[in-house]
Structure 1
Amino acid sequence: MRNLITDVAGLKVGNATDLALASGVTAIVFDEPTVASVDVRGGGPGTRETDLLAPDETVGAIHALCLSGGSAFGLDSAAGVMAALAERGIGFPVGDARVPIVPGAVLFDLINGGDKEWGRFPPYRELGYAAANAAAIDFALGTAGAGTGATTATLKGGLGSASMVAASGHVVGALVAVNACGATNVGEGPHFWAAPFEREAEFGGLGLPSPLPDLPSRPALKGLPPEVEPAIANTTIAVVATDAVLTKAQCKRLAVMAHDGYARAIWPVHTPLDGDTIFAAATGKHALADPVFDLALIGSAVVATLARACARAVYEATALPQPGTLPSWRARWDG
C-alpha cells in the first residue's frame, strides 16, 4: 500500500504542474470504463459533465476524471484529457466514433500571484493532455497538479491522497485538491482537525491539541472581510474510489457520505464561497457480500480516508515561489 488512491486497482493518476502559472491539472485515468457518480455541496461549483453521472442517465461508465485549477478556464483541461484518450482509441462507442467521457471539476486560483496573462487561449487544455499522459501508480502530492495554486484560510493548500482497507475487505482511496475557504488546522496551531483518523504520522503525528483551544465565534475564512483583503475564492474538489462492484446509485450514496470527510478535516466547509465537489468511482474488482452493510462500511472508510487526504494535502505542500504568498505548514512548524 502506497497510501495513495492508486492502491485501488484499476486507476492511475497524473499531474501537470506550472509553478510560474501557479496552477495545474490532475487527471485520474481508469484502466477500463468505470462506474461513477458525483455529489456537489459547495455554493459556487465549477463542473463539467456531472449531469451524466446521475443514476438515471444513459452513460453507464466513464474513462477518466479531471481536477483542475483555473476556475472556469480550467474546464478546458478535461478536453486535453479527452484528446489523450482519443489518441489511444478510448471512448464511449457511437457507431464508428469513440467519445472519451471525462467529467471534471475546477477550483479558483486566478489571483494567487501566478502569471495568468495567457493571451487568447488558456493553457489548461495542454495541461490536461500532459496530466493524462503522465498517469501512473506513483504521483506527487502537495504543490502539484490541481493543488499547485491551492490555498486555505491560513496556509498553503495542495493535493493530498490516502488509502486504506475497509472493514468489508474492499480497498478505498481518496484524492483531493484542498483550496478551502476554511482551515484544516485547529486555531492558530499546527494540529489538524483530521488528527483522530491519522495513520503512521502521515501528517506529523501531533494528534489534537490538549486542551482544545476555545474557538472564536468567527472562524478563519479566506479573503474575508473583503474590505480588508480581496476575496481569493475557494473550492475543495476530490475523487474517492473503491475496488468494489457498485452501481451508479451506490456510487452516488458513496459521494454523499464522502462529504463527511471534508467536514472532519476542514472548518468551516460547504460555504457559499466554496464549490465543494466529490466524485465517487468503483472499479468493480470485488463484489459486495451485502449491498447495504458493505456499502456502509466502505462509506465509513471513505470518510476517514478523505479526511486524512485533506490533511496530507496541506502537510505536503510547499509555498509558491511568488512573493507574498501564504506559507506552507512545513515552513511554519516542521521541526
Structure 2
Amino acid sequence: MKNLLTDIPGVRVGHAGDTALASGVTAVLFDSPAVAAMDVRGGGPGTRESALLDPVNTVERIDALALAGGSAFGIEAGGGVQAWLAERGRGFAIRDAIVPIVPGAVVFDLLNGGDKRWGRFPPYRDLGYAAAAAAGQDFALGNAGAGLGATTANLKGGLGSASAATPGGVRVAALAVVNAVGSVTVGDGPWFWAAPFESESEYGGRGLPPSFAPDMLTMRLKGGPATTAGENTTLAVVVTDAVLTKPQARRLAIIAQTGFARAIYPVHAPLDGDVVFAAATGVKPIDPLVGLTELGMVAANTVARAIARGVYEAAALPFRDALPAWKDRFAR
C-alpha cells in the first residue's frame, strides 16, 4: 500500500492547478460507480449535488467527486469532470440519456495572494476536466490540486492522503484538502494534534509535547480578528472496499468526521465548511453493526492522518506575507 486513496482498487486521483492563480482542482474517479453519501459539519459549506447523496434520494452511486478551490466559483469544477466522463459514456442511464454523477465541494482560497483576475468566467471547469484527464494511481500531496492554495491559521495547508486496513482486511483510505480556520499543530510548535495516530513518521514523527501549557490551548484562527465565515473549510473523501448501503455509507461519513476533531483545533466552526464524502466500492462484506463501527473507527484515524499529512507536505506560496510551511519552520 502506498498510503494513498488509490490503495482502494478501482479508484484514481488527478490534479490540475495554476500556480499564478494559486488554486486548483482534484478529481476522484471510480472505475465503476460507487455507493456514496456525505456528512456536513461546518457552518459554511459550498457543495454540488449534495441533496443527491441523502440516503432517502434515488441515485445510489456516483462516478466521481470534484474538489476545488475558488469558493463558489470552484463548484464549476464538477462540470469539467462530468464532461470528461460524458465523453467516455460514463453515467447514470435514463433511457437513452447518460448523466455522469459528480458531487463535489469547494474551499475558499481567494485571499491567498494568487491572481484571481480571471475575466468573465473562472477557470475551474477547465481545471476539472484536466484533473479528470490526469487521474491515475499516483498523485502529489501538499501544494497539489484543490490543496494548492489552501492555508490554516498558522501554516500553509494542503492536500494529504492516508490508508489503512481493519484487522479483518477491509481497506479504507482518505484524502483531505486542509484549508481550516483553526490549526493542525499544537500551539506554536511542531507537534500535530493527530500525533497519536501517526504511522511510520509520515508527518515528522514528533509526537505530542511533553506537557501542555495554557497558551497551547489558546484559540488560533486564520485571519485573526478579520476572520469571516467564508474563508475556510476542510474537505475529506473516505473510500473503502467494503460492501455498504447508502445509509451505511452515511454512517461511515459521520464516524469518519471524528478524524477532523482529532487533527484540527478548533473544528466544525461557523467559519468552516467541513465536509466528508464516503464511498464504497462494494467488494468485501462486513458485519452491519460491529464491522461498520470498526471500519468507522479506522476511517476516523485515517482522516486525521491525511489532514496532518496535508500540512506536513505543503510548501509556502511564493507571495509576500505568505504563511510558512511546516517544513520551513520545523524540518530537521
TM-score (ref. length: structure 2): 0.98
Distance 2:16 2:26 in 1: 6
Aligned partners of 2:148, 2:241: CA distance in 1, in Å? Answer: 28
Distance (whole Å) between structure 2 residues aligned to residue 215 and residue 272 of structure 1? 23
Conservation of the 8 A alpha-carbon contact between 1:41 and 1:270: yes
Match of 1:17 in 2: 17
**CA–CA distance in structure 2, aligned partners of residues 197 and 146 of structure 1:** 24
- Counterpart of 1:236 in structure 2 is 234
| Corresponding letter in the other structure for 1:269 | V
Task: State the 1:169 CA deviation.
Answer: 1.8
Is the aligned partner of 1:75 residue 2:75?
A: yes
**Matching of residue 334 in structure 1 with residue 331 in structure 2:** yes
2:294 corresponding residue in structure 1: 297
Query: Which residue of structure 2 aligns with residue 116 of structure 1?
Result: 116
For the residue of structure 2 that corresponds to 1:79, the secondary structure is helix
**What's the offset of the Cα at 1:216?**
5.6
Q: Provide the C-alpha distance between the structure 1 equivalents of 2:190 and 2:263, rounded to a whole number of angstroms.
A: 13
- Report what 2:175 is aligned to: 175
Alignment partners' CA distance in 1, 2:126 and 2:220: 35
Alignment correspondent of 1:308: 305
Output the CA distance in 1 between the equivalents of 2:240 and 2:217: 38
**Alpha-carbon offset, residue 318 of structure 1:** 0.5
Letter in 2 for 1:69: G
Task: Give the CA deviation at 1:267.
Answer: 0.3
What's the Cα RMSD here? 1.2
Instruction: Give the Cα–Cα distance (whole angstroms) in 2 for the partners of residues 120 and 176 of structure 1.
Output: 30
Runs of 4+ in 1 over 2 A off after TM superposition: 212-218, 229-232
Matched residue, 2:132:
132
When normalised by structure 1's length, the TM-score is 0.97
Aligned-pair CA distance for 1:232: 7.6
Distance 1:237 1:20, change over 3 A: same
**Deviation at residue 215 of structure 1 after TM alignment:** 3.6
SS at match of 1:119: coil
Q: Secondary structure at the match of 1:283?
A: strand
| Aligned ranges 1:40-79 → 2 under 5 Å | 40-79=40-79
Structure 1 SS opposite 2:152: coil
Q: How does 1:109-258 map to 2 (within 5 A)?
A: 109-215=109-215, 218-226=218-226, 233-258=231-256
Gaps of 5+ in 1: none
Counterpart mapping for 1:92-107 below 5 A: 92-107=92-107
Supply the distance in 1 between the matched residues of 2:184 and 2:87 (Cα, whole angstroms).
40
Could you list the per-position Cα deviations for residues 103-147 of structure 1 after superposition, in whole angstroms to 9, with x for gaps in the alignment?
000000001100100000100000000000111110000000000
Q: Bigger shift: 40-49 or 207-216?
A: 207-216
Deviation of 1:9 after TM superposition, in Å, equals: 1.3
- Give the Cα separation in 1 of the matches to 2:264 and 2:213: 16
1:112/1:232 contact within 8 Å kept? no
How much has 1:95 moved relative to structure 2?
1.4
Gaps of 5+ in 2: none
Give 1:271's aligned residue. 269
Deviations 1:213-236 (A, max 9, x none): 32466400111212xx78881000
Deviations 1:45-83 (A, max 9, x none): 000001111111111100000110000000000000000
Asked if the contact 1:224/1:231 (under 8 Å) is kept, the reply is no
Tell me the number of residue pairs that the alignment of Structure 1 and Structure 2 aligns: 332
Q: 1:61 to 1:204 in 2, by over 3 A?
A: same
SS at match of 2:225: coil
8 A Cα contact 2:166 2:298, kept in partner:
yes
Paired-residue identity, %: 62
- Corresponding position: 1:259 with 2:257: yes
SS of 2:67 mapped into structure 1: strand
Contact preservation (8 Å) 1:178, 1:237? yes
The code of the aligned residue for 2:53 comes to: L
> Residue type matched to 2:123 in 1?
P
